[in-house]
A = this chain, B = another copy of it.
Amino acid sequence: MSTIDDLEATVAHKRDREATRARLLECARLRFARDGYDGASVRDVASDVGVDAALVFRYFGSKSNLFAEAMAGSSEPLVLPSGPVEELPGKLLQQLVFEDWAEYAGEHPLIAMLRSAGHEDMRDRVRQQVCDGYLGALEELAEGNDDAALRTELFGAWLLGIGILRTAVGTPELTKAGLDDLAPHLAAVATALFGRPVPAPAGDDSAG
């Protein structure tokens, strides 16, 4: 009996406010990332979770708030790779481009979020995430240069552009390229931009 109770408590457990809220946020993240702010409807999100749309407004007040909370809690999937800074460009490239973001419709959430950049507040949100997150982590690489921040942004622009050409535009060479194909160019550009040697990311064993 306790087994069944536990099961129901962890799996189904209907009418659990916090659990429902969490599921709504998770589905909202996916929907917003995949379809953009306008493209994702509150009814869609609610339907994914299996509740009525009115409940969403009951919990979050407005679609805008739902978006804000969903994106605020999305720092988890955007976790930055750790390790020595020299290896960071390669790891970021791998994460941005080659990681399997299947649950985000095949795109890195950041690229997907750009679809919503038409709205002013989302632009701010995206910018903050880009600057504080990715660029902040890269800035150490540019240390010692006169315009370190600019160089960092330029390198970030490159990574972002690669991701966009691959997933949003579908350019032929980049689409079929693997990490091994990009590695030497990554090293060359990073070195040229930062004025310090940046090793090419290892064609890691996990990549078949």
Contacts and interface: CB of A to CB of B under 8 A. Distances in A.
Interface of A: 35-36, 38-39, 114-115, 117-118, 123-124, 126-127, 130-131, 135, 147, 149-154, 156-162, 164-165, 168-174, 177, 181-182, 185, 188-189, 191-193
B153 A160 contact: no
13 contacts: A36-B118, A38-B38, A117-B168, A123-B169, A150-B174, A150-B177, A152-B173, A153-B165, A153-B174, A154-B189, A157-B162, A188-B193, A191-B192
Contacts of A169: 114, 117, 123, 126-127, 130
Chain copies in complex = 2
A158 B124 CA distance: 22
A105 to B, nearest CB: 10
A171 to B, nearest CB: 5
A154 B192 contact: no
Contacts of A164: 114, 157, 160-161, 164
Given A117-B168, A189-B193, A154 B127 contact: no
Given A161-B158, A173-B150, A123 B192 contact: no
A33 to B, nearest CB: 11
B35 A118 contact: yes
